[in-house]
Amino acid sequence: MQLFFQESISSPTTYLNEEESKHLVRVLRKKKGDQILLTDGKGMLYTCILEEANPKKASLTVLASQEAEKDPFYIHLAIAPTKSPDRMEWMVEKITEIGFHKLTLLDTLHGERSFLKVDRLHKKMISACKQSIKWRTPTLNGTTKLSELIKSPDFAEYQKFIAYVDENHPHHLLDLAKAGENYLILIGPEGDFDPKEIQLAFDHGFQAVSLGKSRLRTETAGLAAVQMLQVLNR
């Protein structure tokens, strides 16, 4: 199954952007009359027929549409960007394939990088959704101060976790996380969270958790956390 992406889809006729049109016509060599599957990244799948195989602006006729079921849980990963943008892009691609719902980039006291190109990360998400046949693109928040996120009242009904380097963590993430819940999990930079940040998280109801016996890189920790919560909700 080949899935194409178009943020705005009209019915009965819609047009692909130049990037998707070029891939459809010149790379995959699709012809007039071929059936095309299209998503808007908002949970909708459209079955279409290719009307004009124009590599700059392919036109499609929408035949049918259906909406994906929403997950009965919600994974919000808040993570400090790594020094290497490539490592963060790799993580975003993989956690999108596995499945999660929202990503927030954290500005922390020991952070190695204060920003990333959000547009580029969004493109990685779209590509991974197409690869893994997902109809919903995760939400991506730009850089947010850790203290602001921790204090936000938006997460009153969430299970809130903070993962940091400590060999004496009494609880693994899977010991505390409950299936079917909304989760917010904080992952720090390579230099880890500052003790003041950890205490602030505790003061606002976050629970300390381990992700296993190994000491993980930031992007590996983010991937591990998402995978564990997905397995919990399988």
- Digit-coded pLDDT (tens) for 132-186: 999 999 999 989 999 999 999 999 999 999 998 776 778 999 999 999 999 999 9
pLDDT of residue 112: 80
Give 185-224 pLDDT, tens digit per residue: 999 998 899 999 999 999 999 999 999 988 899 999 999 9
In this structure, what token pair is assigned to residue 26? 């010149």
Q: Are 171 and 207 in contact (CB under 8 A)?
A: yes
pLDDT of residue 67: 96
**In terms of pTM, does the model score above 0.85?**
yes
CATH T-level assignment (fold) for domain 74-232: Alpha/beta knot (3.40.1280)
Kindly indicate the confidence band of residue 114, based on its pLDDT and cuts at 50, 70 and 90.
Answer: low
Pick the CATH number of 3-67 from 2.40.240.20, 3.30.390.30, 3.30.1130.10, 3.40.50.10860: 2.40.240.20
**In the chain, % of residues over pLDDT 70:** 98
Span(s) in the chain for CATH 2.40.240.20 = 3-67
The angle, 0 to 180 degrees and rounded to 10, between the axes of the packed helices 118-131 and 85-98 is 40
